[in-house]
Amino acid sequence: MTDCLFCRIVVGEIPGDIVHRSESVMAFRDIQPKAKVHVLVVPQVHYETLAELAAAEPYVAAELLKVAGEVAADEGIAESGYRLVSNVGSDGRQEVGHVHLHVLGGEKLGTVAGRPVDSTP
């Protein structure tokens, strides 16, 4: 989709700080990191939500999760722990309508309940 920010990063029209690229998935650093490590993992194909991706292309959804784990290992946070977040829709505060997993870590993260809005990805 030409008007999708992450599709444009996938095809190289917009630069991204890319940390991983495979046949169906890529990962790049979030431009406004909410933690010391903040990487976005996206499918190269455009779907809006993880549920839509999993329903249509379950192997790509599984690859997304696998790559998230590999990114965590590469970033050195697999042992200390990390958080995977996928925001969905307006109430979920999804800003970019191309499914993505936030990989967050490198520091002790806030608790989910009662967490200030500005610290959420």
With CB under 6 A as the rule, give the number of residues binding ligand AMP: 14
Considering only 30, 50, 64, 99, the residue that binds ligand AMP (CB under 6 A) is: 30
Helices (H), 1-121: 5-10, 50-56, 58-74
Considering only 3, 11, 23, 32, the residue that binds ligand AMP (CB under 6 A) is: 32
What are the residues whose beta carbons fall under 8 Å from the beta carbon of 110, sequence distance 6 or more? 116, 119
Q: Minimum Å distance from CB 84 to ligand AMP?
A: 12
d(CA 57, CA 121): 25
**What residues numbered 82-121 form the site for ligand AMP, per CB under 6 A?**
87, 93-96, 121
Query: What separation in angstroms does the CA of 39 have from each of 45, 61, 87, 100, 113?
Result: 18, 17, 14, 10, 22
Active site residue 102: no
- Angle among Cα 50, 51, 53 to the nearest 5 degrees reads 65
3-state secondary structure of 74: helix
Q: Minimum Å distance from CB 26 to ligand AMP?
A: 11
- Binding flag, residue 24, ligand AMP (CB under 6 A): no
Considering only 10, 16, 61, 105, the residue that binds ligand AMP (CB under 6 A) is: 16
Binding site for ligand AMP (CB under 6 A): 5, 14, 16, 28, 30-32, 40, 87, 93-96, 121
